[in-house]
């Protein structure tokens, strides 16, 4: 038990990085192979959207169970079990023959990713209390790098293996490696760890809903881009490999931004992340606007711009959630709930954009939809200043008690 807790920091960092690498390839690998998958499975555009929607929905639903999983099994066992699901889900894609089976593997993979995302931020807060921003930046960057890996390698492996199934099934290999490293390095959970509030009490805090909305609207942009950027450019005459490279470039830009922006935000020793969040939102707005109005002018530049905005905003959003509370267990629970509601919101835009595409004959309306979402998030983040953290996370009964005491003192 003590050995697991005292695993060397570099080994634990390597585990965090490799685990995060497995959380997106199974989603980003779909887009470059969408035409082949649809041709062989019979999935139409809306059916193809399910391969993104189902994992995102599960990431949302399961995150709400994060505090209960933490209490019942602990973070270590939950993450190890989730990695088993990720390895199994990718392996089973080698044998998928129809759309229903492929959606079933998407559910299995989404479940595994959901559990990891609900558990790992709390582990990072507990094990690296003085470097939460930097380690969350590493986690986010490797998560995005996994997206790049999936987009780039999937078409190459499909070509090498002679069919699209090989382009998806190879993802079991990094999952098995992460499983082995996690078993060696993840610390045991402290005895008696609690999140401090029941689910109902968390959901009575307006700040929880605000964080959910911001996280969901931003990641809805990510899920749409992952699902439809490659098919969008294939409609413009690009090959599967070229569109996959574009998606990979976007993911590399996400990873770089997720790693660099939290580090830059830490340089000025300010806990107010909003100026950096607004910078990432401005980059997203420019990227979505460019896709809507000038998609062929500079596609690689638009991918870099969008990637930097989405990746940096993802990392900073997780850090903001963890900043709200000093206790690692409660901060991890807040992060899980933010992701829960957020991913439920983020699951819908790919389907909405697919519907708009079929109704209007193009993707421009979808890109403009996300431009509007960015504007909403920019306004919502005005309320998320560090001075508001303590009051926003105080249960309503305590807030009323404090208000009564203050009134009595004034009287």
pLDDT tens sequence across 239-260: 877 887 888 888 889 889 988 8
Residue (of 358, 255, 245) closest to 307 by Cα position = 255
pLDDT digits (tens, 9 = 90+) for 201-235: 888 899 999 999 999 999 999 889 988 898 899 88
Q: In sequence order, what are the residues at sequence separation of 6 or more whose Cβ sits closer than 8 angstroms to the Cβ of residue 375? A: 285
Helix (H) or strand (E) holding 366: helix 364-380
Backbone torsion region of residue 186, taken as left when φ is above 0, otherwise alpha when ψ lies between -120 and 50, otherwise beta: beta
| The two three-digit tokens of residue 16, written as one number | 């965090």
| The two three-digit tokens of residue 283, written as one number | 């980059």
CB 197 within 8 A of CB 334: no
Helix (H) or strand (E) holding 64: helix 45-64
Angle at 299 between CA 295 and CA 302, to 5 degrees: 90
CB 49 within 8 A of CB 330: no
Residue (of 217, 264, 234) closest to 33 by Cα position = 234
User: How many CB atoms are closer than 10 A to CB 8?
Assistant: 9
Whole-angstrom Cα distance, residue 195 to residue 202?
Answer: 10
Q: Is the pLDDT at 115 greater than 60, yes or no? A: yes
What mean pLDDT do residues 178-207 have? Answer: 79
Lowest mean pLDDT across 137-146, 205-214, 319-328, 387-396: 387-396
pLDDT score of 303: 94
Whole-angstrom Cα distance, residue 106 to residue 44?
Answer: 16
pLDDT digits (tens, 9 = 90+) for 130-159: 888 889 889 988 988 888 788 888 888 998
Q: How many residues does the chain have?
A: 411
Q: In sequence order, what are the residues at sequence separation of 6 or more whose Cβ sits closer than 8 angstroms to the Cβ of residue 84? A: 112, 179
pLDDT score of 221: 94
Helix, strand counts (H, E) of the chain:
21, 0
Lowest mean pLDDT across 93-107, 232-246, 290-304: 232-246
Whole-angstrom Cα distance, residue 278 to residue 301?
Answer: 20
Whole-angstrom Cα distance, residue 9 to residue 159?
Answer: 39
| The two three-digit tokens of residue 182, written as one number | 């996690």
pLDDT score of 401: 46
CB 27 within 8 A of CB 226: yes
Q: In sequence order, what are the residues at sequence separation of 6 or more whose Cβ sits closer than 8 angstroms to the Cβ of residue 42? A: 98, 99
Q: Classify residue 188 by burial, with Cβ atoms within 10 Å: 0-12, 13-18, 19+.
A: middle
pLDDT digits (tens, 9 = 90+) for 267-279: 665 678 899 999 9
pLDDT score of 402: 45
Whole-angstrom Cα distance, residue 179 to residue 250?
Answer: 27
| The two three-digit tokens of residue 120, written as one number | 């790992």
Q: What is the gyration radius of the CA atoms in the chain, in angstroms?
A: 21
Can you tell me which residue has the tokens 């203050």? 406
């Amino acid at each position: 038990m003590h050995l697991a807790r005292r695993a060397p920091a570099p080994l634990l960092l390597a585990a965090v990085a490799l685990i995060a690498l497995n959380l997106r390839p199974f989603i980003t690998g779909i887009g470059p192979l969408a035409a082949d998958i649809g041709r062989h499975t019979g999935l139409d555009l809306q059916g193809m959207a399910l391969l993104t929607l189902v994992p995102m929905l599960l990431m949302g639903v399961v995150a709400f169970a994060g505090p209960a999983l933490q209490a019942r099994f602990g973070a270590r066992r939950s993450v190890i079990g989730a990695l088993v699901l990720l390895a199994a889900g990718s392996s089973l894609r080698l044998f998928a023959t129809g759309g229903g089976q492929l959606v079933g593997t998407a559910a299995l993979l989404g479940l595994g990713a959901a559990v990891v995302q609900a558990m790992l931020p709390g582990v990072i807060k507990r094990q690296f209390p003085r470097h939460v921003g930097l380690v969350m930046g590493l986690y986010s960057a490797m998560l995005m790098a996994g997206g790049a890996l999936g987009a780039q390698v999937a078409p190459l492996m499909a070509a090498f293996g002679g069919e699209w199934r090989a382009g998806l099934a190879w993802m079991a290999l990094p999952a098995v490696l992460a499983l082995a490293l996690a078993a060696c390095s993840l610390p045991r959970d402290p005895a008696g760890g609690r999140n401090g509030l029941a689910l109902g009490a968390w959901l009575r805090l307006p700040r929880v809903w605000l964080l959910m909305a911001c996280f969901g609207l931003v990641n809805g942009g990510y899920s749409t881009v992952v699902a439809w950027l490659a098919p969008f450019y294939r409609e413009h005459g690009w090959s599967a490999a070229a569109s996959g490279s574009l998606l990979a470039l976007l993911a590399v830009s996400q990873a770089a931004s997720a790693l660099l922006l939290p580090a830059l935000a830490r340089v000025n020793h300010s806990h107010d992340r909003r100026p950096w969040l607004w910078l990432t939102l401005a980059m997203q707005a420019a990227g979505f606007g460019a896709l809507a109005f000038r998609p062929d002018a500079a596609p690689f530049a638009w991918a870099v711009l969008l990637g930097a905005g989405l990746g940096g905003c993802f990392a900073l959003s997780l850090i903001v959630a963890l900043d709200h509370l000093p206790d690692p267990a409660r901060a991890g629970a807040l992060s899980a709930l933010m992701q829960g509601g957020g991913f439920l919101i983020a699951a819908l835009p790919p389907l909405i954009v697919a519907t708009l595409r079929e109704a209007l004959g193009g993707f421009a309306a979808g890109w403009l939809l996300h431009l509007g979402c960015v504007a909403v998030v920019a306004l919502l983040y005005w309320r998320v200043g560090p001075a508001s953290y303590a009051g926003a996370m105080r249960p309503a009964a305590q807030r009323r008690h404090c208000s009564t005491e203050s009134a009595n003192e004034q009287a």
